[in-house]
Amino acid sequence: ELEDHYFGTLKPRVKQFMKELDEELWKLGIMSKTEHNEVAPAQHELAPIYCNTNIATDHNQLIMDRMKKVAERQGLACL
């Protein structure tokens, strides 16, 4: 479908996942600036806002942990 491409809108289920994930990350002080479809089907991107390397490393670990927990709650898979 034309909506499944990089510039297409997020599907409602993915949008809900991103919304819940954003709320979880905001509580930890982690902000993201990009959320969109990827080129490959059923893949999506979240890009955190730039920060110093030592902080970014911690943020990346926390983001992956939260992504997996939110995905599990919503019946999705986060690889």
32-43 pLDDT tens trace:
877 776 667 777
For residue 56, the model assigns a pLDDT of 92
For residue 57, the model assigns a pLDDT of 94
Cβ-Cβ contacts under 8 Å for 77 (sequence gap 6 or more): 71
Dist. CA 56–CA 51, nearest whole Å = 6
Q: Average model confidence (pLDDT) for the chain?
A: 86
Contact 76, 15 (CB under 8 A): no
pLDDT in tens, 11-64: 889 889 889 999 999 999 998 877 776 667 777 778 888 889 999 999 999 999
